[in-house]
């Protein structure tokens, strides 16, 4: 019994990250392969296969993969505080060096590989999370849920405002101007050099950070708080707790049902910059927390089964930062002119298949790497910076 508990404690965070890293690349490929601001065009969703693939990704992963990472990010603060307490080290110094390292990696990633980077947001919000470390679990959980509700409300209000303003002539003129700007931007991503594309990403960075905060940032901090609360209560080590039983039986199907409704709206929207698309994201944000808890509950069950496949996936999940950055490098090579130049040339189903292969490949490579090394290459660099005051243990 003690052995099983130890295995569960070790593998659960890594398996959650492994599942999340697959979902993240499936969601992100839309931005890599097509319009940076408007997602898949109608031409990329013209066949039933494309529509089904996009519907499944939106239902199963959109706003859920990042939420799993966010939960574990919040729990990660708890693990770091525990480690610092055991060694008598200063948790604050380590933690803020880690956040600064994430910020630098995120900025480099956003400029040179992926404008939709989440590391910058995590570094900024993660710094604020440190000041919540002493809060009681109940307080953390309550405020986490409140922030998830606020996120959904913000999206709903944005959709309503968009719909109301869309009838005015000035708004329509602005939308036409935005469409022209987006077309020019996409042309640069389709035909520009590596440096030209990087310069455009740098110009877009403030707008994209604002969009990420609007769509994900408030909820991300809510998930941080919930993850820290789960660590403090020890619920991440109790697979048979009533919360996870309910999550498996009821939260997951309900969350996926709500998400399917959001995905159905999203797939019929004429672009991401429309009221319909924002309504869809609001609905997806309502289903995401339920589905996320359902995923955690079921992955807990899988951990208890053990086996070589679970060990292989969990090992790869120990280096998801490396896998995340590798995914961006692979997809940049596939779609940008500096590589294969397939930007805006493939339908949605094909790009999603490429993303799935990239996700599985990077997760497998990190798992194989960790047969010989204790950590992934990017994790080693970040850890060296985090433990700058002394050799890491």
The residue among 362 and 34 whose pLDDT is bigger is: 362
Express as a percent the part of the chain with pLDDT over 90: 46
Statement: residue 160 has pLDDT above 70: yes
Statement: residue 1 has pLDDT above 60: no
How many Å apart are CA 109 and CA 321, to the nearest integer?
Answer: 11
pLDDT at 181: 72
Give residue 270's pLDDT band: very low, low, confident or very high (50, 70, 90). confident
pLDDT at 392: 46
Statement: residue 2 has pLDDT above 80: no
Statement: residue 156 has pLDDT above 80: yes
pLDDT tens per residue, range 309-348 = 888 888 988 999 999 999 999 999 999 888 898 988 899 9
User: If you average pLDDT over every residue of the chain, what do you get?
Assistant: 86
Pick from 82-91, 242-251, 358-367: least confident: 82-91
**Contacts with 210 (C-beta within 8 Å, 6 or more apart), sequence order:** none
For the residues 269-282, what does the mean pLDDT come to? Answer: 82
Statement: residue 107 has pLDDT above 90: yes
What are φ and ψ of residue 356, in 5° steps? -60, -45
Supply the pTM of this predicted model. Answer: 0.88
Give residue 36's pLDDT band: very low, low, confident or very high (50, 70, 90). low
pLDDT at 93: 80
Give residue 3's pLDDT band: very low, low, confident or very high (50, 70, 90). very low
pLDDT at 378: 94
How many Å apart are CA 5 and CA 325, to the nearest integer?
Answer: 32
pLDDT tens per residue, range 180-223 = 777 777 778 777 888 888 888 888 888 777 777 767 789 999 99
pLDDT at 142: 96
Give residue 5's pLDDT band: very low, low, confident or very high (50, 70, 90). very low
The residue among 389 and 258 whose pLDDT is bigger is: 258
Between the two ends of the chain, the Cα-to-Cα distance in Å is: 28
pLDDT at 188: 80
Statement: residue 87 has pLDDT above 70: no
pLDDT at 252: 96
The residue among 184 and 365 whose pLDDT is bigger is: 365
Nearest CA-CA partner of 371 in 328, 308, 321: 308
Give residue 89's pLDDT band: very low, low, confident or very high (50, 70, 90). low
Three-class DSSP labels, the chain: CHHHHHHHHHHHHHHHHHHHHHHHHHHHHHHHHCECCCECCHHHHCCHHHHHHHHHHHHHCCCCHHHHHHHHHHHHHHHHHHHHHHHCCCHHHHHHHHHHHHHHHHHHHHHHCCCCCCHHHHHHHHHHHHHHCCCCHHHHHHHHHHHHHHHHHHHHHHHHHHHHHCCCHHHHHHHHHHHHHHHHHHHHHHHCCHHHHHHHHHHHHHHHHHHHHHHHHHHHHHHHHHHHHHHHHCHHHCCCCHHHHHHHHHHHHHHHHHHHHHHHHHHHCCCCCCHHHHHHHHHHHHHHHHHHHHHHHHHHHHHHHCCHHHHHHHHHHHHHHHHHHHHHHHHHHHHCCCCCCCCCCCCHHHHHHHHHHHHHHHHHHHHHHCCCCCCCHHHHHHHHHHCCCCCCC
Judge whether 220 and 64 are in contact, CB under 8 Å. no
What are φ and ψ of residue 35, in 5° steps? -55, 130
Give residue 88's pLDDT band: very low, low, confident or very high (50, 70, 90). low
Give residue 37's pLDDT band: very low, low, confident or very high (50, 70, 90). low
The ranges assigned to domains in the chain are 2-386
Statement: residue 115 has pLDDT above 80: yes
pLDDT at 185: 76
């Amino acid at each position: 019994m003690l052995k099983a508990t130890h295995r569960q404690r070790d593998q659960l965070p890594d398996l959650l990250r492994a599942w999340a890293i697959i979902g993240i690349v499936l969601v992100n490929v839309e931005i890599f392969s097509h319009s940076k601001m408007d997602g898949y065009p109608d031409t990329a969703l013209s066949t039933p296969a494309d529509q089904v693939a996009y519907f499944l990704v939106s239902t199963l992963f959109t706003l859920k993969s990042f939420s799993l990472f966010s939960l574990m990010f919040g729990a990660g603060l708890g693990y770091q505080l525990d480690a610092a307490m055991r060694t008598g080290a200063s948790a604050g110094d380590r933690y803020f060096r880690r956040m600064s390292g994430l910020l630098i990696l995120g900025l480099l990633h956003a400029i040179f590989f992926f404008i939709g980077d989440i590391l910058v947001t995590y570094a900024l919000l993660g710094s604020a999370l440190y000041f919540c470390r002493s809060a009681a679990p109940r307080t953390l959980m309550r405020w986490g849920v409140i922030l998830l509700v606020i996120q959904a409300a913000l999206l709903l209000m944005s959709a309503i405002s968009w719909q109301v303003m869309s009838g005015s002539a000035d708004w329509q003129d602005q939308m036409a101007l935005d469409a022209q700007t987006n077309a020019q931007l996409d042309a640069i991503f389709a035909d520009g050099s590596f440096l030209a594309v990087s310069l455009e990403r740098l110009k877009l960075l403030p707008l994209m950070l604002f969009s990420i905060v609007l769509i994900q940032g408030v909820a991300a901090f809510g998930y941080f708080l919930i993850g820290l609360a789960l660590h403090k209560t020890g619920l991440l080590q109790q697979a048979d707790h009533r919360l996870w039983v309910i999550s498996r039986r009821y939260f997951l199907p309900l969350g996926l049902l709500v998400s399917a409704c959001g995905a159905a709206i999203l797939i019929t929207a004429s672009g991401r910059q429309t009221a319909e698309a924002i309504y869809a994201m609001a609905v997806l944000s309502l289903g995401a927390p339920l589905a996320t808890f359902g995923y955690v509950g079921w992955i807990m069950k899988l951990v208890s089964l053990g086996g070589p496949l679970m060990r292989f996936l969990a090992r790869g999940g120990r280096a998801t930062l490396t896998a995340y950055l590798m995914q961006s490098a692979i997809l940049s090579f596939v779609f940008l002119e500096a590589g294969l130049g397939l930007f805006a040339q493939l339908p949605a189903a094909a790009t999603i298949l490429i993303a799935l292969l990239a996700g599985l490949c990077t997760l497998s490579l990190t798992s194989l790497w960790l047969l010989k090394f204790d950590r992934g290459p990017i994790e080693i660099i970040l850890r060296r910076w985090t433990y700058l005051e002394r050799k890491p243990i």
